[in-house]
Amino acid sequence: MAAMPNDAPIAPSPETTTPKTPTAAEIEQEKEQSRRAAAKARGIAVKAAGASDDALINPVASIWPPPYYFEDDLRRVRPYHWTYNTYCKERWRGRSLIEIFESEFRDRPVEYYRKSMETGDIFVNGIKVGPDYVLRNGDLISHTLHRHEPPVTSDPVGIIHEDDDMIVINKPSGVPVHPAGRYKFNSVLEIMKAERGQQFMPYPCNRLDRLTSGIMFVAKSVKAAEALGNQIKSRTVRKEYMARVVGEFPEGEVVCDQPILSISPKLGLNRVRAEGKTARTVFKRLAYYPPRDSAATNGQPEAPEPTNEELSRLPTEAGDESNGKPWINKRGYSIVRCLPVTGRTHQIRVHLQYLGHPIQNDPIYANQRVWGFNLGRDDADGTVNTDEDVISRLSRMGKEEVAQAVVYYDEMVDKYEKKRAEKMTGEVCEICATPLYSDPGMHELSLWLHSLRYEDAGGAWSYKSPLPKWALPPEGMAGPTTVGGMEELVEAVKDENPEIMG
């Protein structure tokens, strides 16, 4: 649900250490105080406890400053109460409240939603209506809940350039741009607002997925955002990404023109399909690094063996990690430059998958349990794996089963990350009985895809971010540490896309 909280602020003190968890009584008192304060501001009387079911319910007041604290190299948020608001969608009309939450809001068990409707934590038009209420056009559905945000990396939002109109940032991986889903304060825009003050109003001009790192533009006004947005839409802005992919990517410029279709907007799932939208990406290999066991035979010094500390973190259970994993036989990995000429969702990830060199730690497009034995390669007509099969497999991957990235170049890292990936712990919150998750693993905080560079095709401006650590040569091996200009990539499509020449 889209969050539209009230404006009345509460100002908890910022935390730098693990905070004391408030008691249920303290939380209930805080909620009641918030309801009364909000009602007073509107000139509405709040009925005392025990009032009739048609008593007006007021949302919990918004929070400022965000209750951040840092621990174990993660930015964490102290659990807090929050009220979501959303208007009835057309597809919800004529359906019961409990049916909507059971089918579309599956973050918590249906029993939780039913109880919340009975107690009034989920309400409609400011009134407790119960789970069997039938939704109508214009209804405002509200949900007050105890929020547990997932932690994100403690890496800062880096500033590459700033002037009176625009901020060019280096977005850390694993942090969503906008508040969405389980994330509110642990988002790029909210972190920037916390650093710059409540009055700061950011206007993002380009979009990066949560797991993707690198260059983003955040305007300081609507006018500046629209100006850059229009320039990006006209394709006179050139973008370059870096990706770390499975196996030895071909040399030279590789142009992928395969159309891309969204097969499940709800899951954010896309694939190459003939009836999809036109898409074009230019790829060029920057470096190839063979696996450790064959490094010496390829003229490279052997990488060092894992340390005792690294080995001690491995799961104790035995098993053949390569069993049923044909991608492990793809030797080594490549660092690849990517120039997306069009801007389809997941375009680079989908095109690399189709070419047989998916991003190594991509939890969706490099997952054999979703895409089958060949990971979707050369299956543009969907005959090897139908859309329905792919959607069904991805939907079944619950939180109790780690949605692992299955093509790690290093089996030791693979096993370690599967062990510590975010999943349900079996514990519940003492206040709201929400199932608690363990901390996320590295592959849930990072995707080896980085927005390296944005530049005006006419040469008016250019911004470049540092190479991420995963794109640099591994310890004990030689390789490039810088990236040249975009001329070779642009040359490969100048005839089909002359606008990219400037």
Residues designated catalytic: 209
Q: What's the CA gap between 68 and 194, in Å, rounded?
A: 10
Structure tokens that stand for 35 in this block: 């309801």
- The SS3 call for residue 167 is strand
User: Contact at 8 Å (CB) between 280 and 264?
Assistant: no
CA–CA distances in Å: residue 44 to residues 36, 55, 107, 129: 9, 11, 33, 20
User: Contact at 8 Å (CB) between 124 and 97?
Assistant: yes
User: Contact at 8 Å (CB) between 353 and 298?
Assistant: no
H, E, C per residue of 135-154: CCCCCEEEEEEEECCCCEEC
Please give the single-letter amino acid code of residue 452. Answer: L
Which residue, among 184, 204, 173, 197, has the nearest Cα to 448 in the 3D structure?
A: 173
CA–CA distances in Å: residue 459 to residues 123, 454, 455, 501: 54, 11, 7, 10
Segment holding 309, helix H or strand E: helix 308-312
Helices (H), 182-221: 188-196
Handedness of CA 89, 94, 97, 102 (dihedral sign): negative
Please give the single-letter amino acid code of residue 370. Answer: V
* DSSP for 31-99, written as a single string: HHHHHHHHHHHHT-PPPPTT--TT----PPPEESS--EEEETTEEEE--EEEEEEEEPPGGGTTSBHHH
Dmax (CA) of the chain: 80
- Which residues lie below 8 Å from residue 38, measured CB to CB, with a gap of 6+? 6, 8, 58, 59, 60, 61
User: Contact at 8 Å (CB) between 241 and 209?
Assistant: no
DSSP bridge pairs for 462: 455
Segment holding 160, helix H or strand E: strand 158-162
If you count DSSP H runs as helices and E runs as strands, how many of each does the chain have, helices first? 12, 22
